[in-house]
Amino acid sequence: MLRKTLLASSVVLALAACSDNPTVSVAVDAPAAAVEAEVATAALPDSNPLKHASTLLYQAPDFTKITDDHFKPAFVAGMAEHMAEIDAIANNPEPATFDNTLVAMEKSGQLLGRTASVFYNLSSSTGNDARRALETEMGPKFAEHQDNIYLNAKLFERVKAIYDHRAELGLTPEGLRLTEVTYERFVRAGANLTAEQKLKVRELNKRLSELTNRFGQNLLAASKESAVPVADLAQLAGLTEGAIASAKAAAEQAGLEGYLLTLTNTTRQSALSSLENRELRQKLWEASAYRATEGEYDNQAILLELAKLRAEKGELFGFDNWAEYKLQSQMAKTPENVMDLLGSMAPKVVANAEKEAAEIAAMMAADGVEGEVQPWDWLYYAEKVRQQKFNLDAAEVAKYFSFDKVLKDGVFYTMERQFGVTFKLRPDLPSYHPDVEVYEVFDHDGKSMALFYADYFAREGKRGGAWMNAFVGQSNLMNAKPVVVNVMNIEKAGEGQPQLVSFDEATTMFHEMGHGVHGLFSDVTYPSLAGTSVSRDFVEFPSTYQEDWAVHPEVIANYAKHVETGEPIPADLLAKVLAASKFNQGFDTLEYLSAALLDMEWHAMGSDVKVTDVEAFEAEALKKHGVNLGAIPPRYKSTYFAHVFAGGYSAGYYAYMWSEILAADAFAHVRDTGGLTRERGQLFREKILSIGNTQDLMEAYKGFKGDEPTSEALLIRRGIAL
Ligand SMILES: [Zn+2]
């Protein structure tokens, strides 16, 4: 996962510090702006360490001086400074040039960018009440700040003047890309619309936001209402003690006797893998799958209206539908491209799922259950199949994954083998928590190039999950070297115990370093195009790519050694671990694929298409793509597909798998053309990691591989094809 905050100077805004949020790039400067900017920053006392760029190596934040009291005044002064800079650019009496407009924008907002980078990193990894309160307070202010820039008509006029003549300006390819990307950001904010169209968009936005809110609220209420009460403990046979305790606590909280099985977001519910009572499983599954389809919290009319209004909005911006509008700025570019690439997987995924279904049916028969496999049977019997086939002892496996070895002999080792880089501990540089280590990164020629913060352990106040972020984004324009951080939530070992990690955590360490090197190897001029500032369907590609090195024979032999004996992991145990990680992938892939395609179908129709029956539309869409297996419904059905109807992922749920397709395809290409070598690593670095968003990403990919990606390698990666 990747979390984006305001990267210094490019000011890439993503306010909840999460990759799920839309990112927008702003910026400014120019000599004309300097005077007003000085006035704006004058309010900030010199004692505030955020006022000036840090003098530490690569502008590493000086955590020995920064306190929570410094953030708010720095935000206020930073926004004022940035607005003064933007106004100076917009009102410049000189005709618009690339330098006095676009470059000036790139240079602007330094104080704001610096403050936001430090703040959002800390509030994610080391949260406290003061930081959470400031996050809440700043959210709407950033939204307004962004509007003030992208809805500035004078500024847009200048950007458009450059864009219209971009072919004649003798721009570098990166300058050309910056022009196009910046122009598009304004256009997508509505800058090119007539006054009448703008009014219409505003009306649509208002209604869309009401509808998405209502969808989310209905879903919450419907999920709560659909929780399944259970009177008798005997019915819960199979659940763990912990799950039973949670069900009891949930009932108490709802003022009920007995137990309550609450619903999680997805169609599948975790209790379905262990509940022995088949009738109860059916009841729980139906409660989940028919959520928000009737009564007070029915979401059907809402989502039908959402789909229609989004289509209208897409059309206002000159596109055939909403998906076309959303995908234009993505690597995939069109809904057809998504449907083709994802759809190409369907036959093999379905065939694999049918094989899994046969195993499950056999297990059911052995258990004396007659008839077809039902969706509420799948996870329960799959778990039995899994135990029979693999029976892995997680604690025994973990003994081969000691944290220190995974990091140094695994992750760092693999980066050195591919890219020649080395990591040297710098205990003298300030860190924001005693558990966080700071490393200086040296390039293959021995030159110092960046800083890397390793923040791997869980603690109070840290958000869940794992992510990468940057304290300082790379930019040749600003002479800025990258300062990046990897954050995870590995449980700390008890006093005197060896620090071990699970196989999944080891893989995640490689994943996050994949994002890390995307930031570390960035070599671009303009900050808003640097590092991980790429489209959502590309951003998980470099990270997922590195995951596969974690299990490469040369790599795993180097780091997976028994914590007591130092013996390498036995081949048969490793084979079992790998096979187990590919178990049930037909089901997992199919439920994801069908949800992604369903999302795309809802958003790839014009506003004139009349849909009145949600269930019939779903059935038709799944059938069209050949992913309609009764026992494997989509991961989300329409009435509870919050990603796309209550959140920002509409026509975007496909992006995770698109990135994984790229990763698997690229890994197979490198493996088959030389493998773990400096030469192959250098190619990946030059063609993919160093370019940020300075090129069309499909063209960049073709430049790397010589061809477009196919889904073949992903199917092998997931154990679906041979
Ligand atoms: Zn990631």
Ligand 1 centre to CA of 562 (Å) is 28
Q: Give 15 or 297, the one with higher predicted confidence.
A: 297
Q: Is 196 exposed, middle or buried (0-12, 13-18, 19+ CB in 10 A)?
A: exposed
Question: Residue 425 in contact with residue 439, Cβ under 8 Å?
Answer: yes
User: What would the two tokens of residue 551 be?
Assistant: 């299990």
Catalytic residues: 512
Ligand 1 centre to CA of 558 (Å) is 24
3 state SS for 383-418: HHHHHHHCCCCHHHHHCCCEHHHHHHHHHHHHHHHH
The number of CA neighbours under 13 Å toward the Cβ of 305 is 16
Quote the pLDDT of residue 15.
Answer: 29
Place of tokens 């890994």: 667
Q: For residue 560, which phi and psi values (nearest 5 degrees)?
A: -85, 85
Rounded CA-CA distance 537/662 in Å is 9
Ligand 1 centre to CA of 623 (Å) is 31
Quote the pLDDT of residue 41.
Answer: 64
Sign of CA dihedral 309, 622, 352, 342: negative
Band of residue 647 on the pLDDT scale cut at 50, 70, 90: confident
Rounded CA-CA distance 457/352 in Å is 37
Q: In this predicted structure, which of 80-84, 157-161, 179-183, 392-396 has the lowest mean pLDDT?
A: 392-396
Ligand 1 centre to CA of 190 (Å) is 31
Query: What's the one-letter identity of residue 264?
Result: T
Band of residue 450 on the pLDDT scale cut at 50, 70, 90: very high
For the domain made up of 397-581, give the CATH fold: Neurolysin; domain 3 (1.10.1370)
Looking at domain 300-390+583-653, its CATH class is: mainly alpha
Ligand 1 centre to CA of 407 (Å) is 17
Q: In this predicted structure, which of 395-399, 506-510, 512-516 has the lowest mean pLDDT?
A: 395-399
Rounded CA-CA distance 287/267 in Å is 9
Question: Model confidence over 191-210: pLDDT tens digits?
Answer: 999 999 999 998 999 999 99
Ligand 1 centre to CA of 544 (Å) is 7
Residue 430: CB partners within 8 Å, gap ≥ 6? 56, 60, 61, 62, 63, 64, 438
Rounded CA-CA distance 203/213 in Å is 15
Output 209-214 pairs: Cβ under 8 A, ≥24 positions apart.
211/302, 211/305, 211/306, 211/309, 212/306, 212/645, 212/646, 212/647, 213/646, 214/302
Ligand 1 centre to CA of 1 (Å) is 3
Question: Model confidence over 268-295: pLDDT tens digits?
Answer: 999 999 999 999 999 999 999 999 999 9
Ligand 1 centre to CA of 18 (Å) is 11
Q: Is the pLDDT of residue 148 over 70?
A: yes
Mean pLDDT of the region 208-224: 95
Q: Where do runs of H (alpha helix) occur along 604-641?
A: 614-624
Rounded CA-CA distance 693/108 in Å is 19
Q: Distances from the Cα of 97 to the Cαs of 155, 231, 290, 721, in angstroms?
A: 12, 73, 57, 54
Question: Residue 322 in contact with residue 651, Cβ under 8 Å?
Answer: yes
Ligand 1 centre to CA of 209 (Å) is 28
Percent of the chain with pLDDT over 70: 94
Ligand 1 centre to CA of 543 (Å) is 6
Question: Model confidence over 173-192: pLDDT tens digits?
Answer: 999 999 999 999 999 999 99
Sign of CA dihedral 704, 706, 712, 713: negative
Rounded CA-CA distance 441/432 in Å is 19
Residues with CB under 5 A from ligand 1 (ion): 1, 540, 543
Quote the pLDDT of residue 648.
Answer: 85
- The mean predicted confidence, pLDDT, of the chain is 93
Question: Model confidence over 291-306: pLDDT tens digits?
Answer: 999 999 999 999 999 9
| C-alpha Rg value of the chain to the nearest Å | 26
Query: What's the one-letter identity of residue 113?
Result: G
CATH 1.10.1370.10 spans which residues of the chain?
300-390+583-653
Question: Model confidence over 405-417: pLDDT tens digits?
Answer: 999 999 999 999 9
Band of residue 35 on the pLDDT scale cut at 50, 70, 90: low
User: What would the two tokens of residue 44 be?
Assistant: 């900030």
Q: Is the pLDDT of residue 32 over 90?
A: no
Ligand 1 centre to CA of 19 (Å) is 9
Mean pLDDT of the region 343-367: 96
Mean pLDDT of the region 485-507: 94
Ligand 1 centre to CA of 92 (Å) is 41
Ligand 1 centre to CA of 568 (Å) is 28
Q: What is the dihedral of CA 280, 283, 284, 287, to 10 degrees?
A: -170
Question: Model confidence over 673-703: pLDDT tens digits?
Answer: 999 999 999 999 999 999 999 999 999 999 9
Rounded CA-CA distance 160/157 in Å is 5
Band of residue 659 on the pLDDT scale cut at 50, 70, 90: very high
Question: Residue 593 in contact with residue 342, Cβ under 8 Å?
Answer: yes
Ligand 1 centre to CA of 514 (Å) is 8
Sign of CA dihedral 523, 529, 530, 532: negative
Quote the pLDDT of residue 559.
Answer: 98
Q: Is the pLDDT of residue 26 over 90?
A: no
Quote the pLDDT of residue 37.
Answer: 56
Residue 241: CB partners within 8 Å, gap ≥ 6? none
For the domain made up of 12-189, give the CATH fold: Neurolysin; domain 3 (1.10.1370)
Ligand 1 centre to CA of 427 (Å) is 27
CATH 1.10.1370.40 spans which residues of the chain?
12-189, 397-581
Q: Is the pLDDT of residue 13 over 60?
A: no
Query: What's the one-letter identity of residue 616?
Result: A
Residue 500: closest CA among 547, 563, 550, 557: 563
Q: Is the pLDDT of residue 21 over 50?
A: no
Q: Is the pLDDT of residue 114 over 90?
A: yes
Ligand 1 centre to CA of 395 (Å) is 26
Sign of CA dihedral 166, 170, 175, 177: positive
Rounded CA-CA distance 414/684 in Å is 14
Residue 27: closest CA among 205, 152, 131: 152
Question: Model confidence over 532-553: pLDDT tens digits?
Answer: 999 999 999 999 999 999 999 9
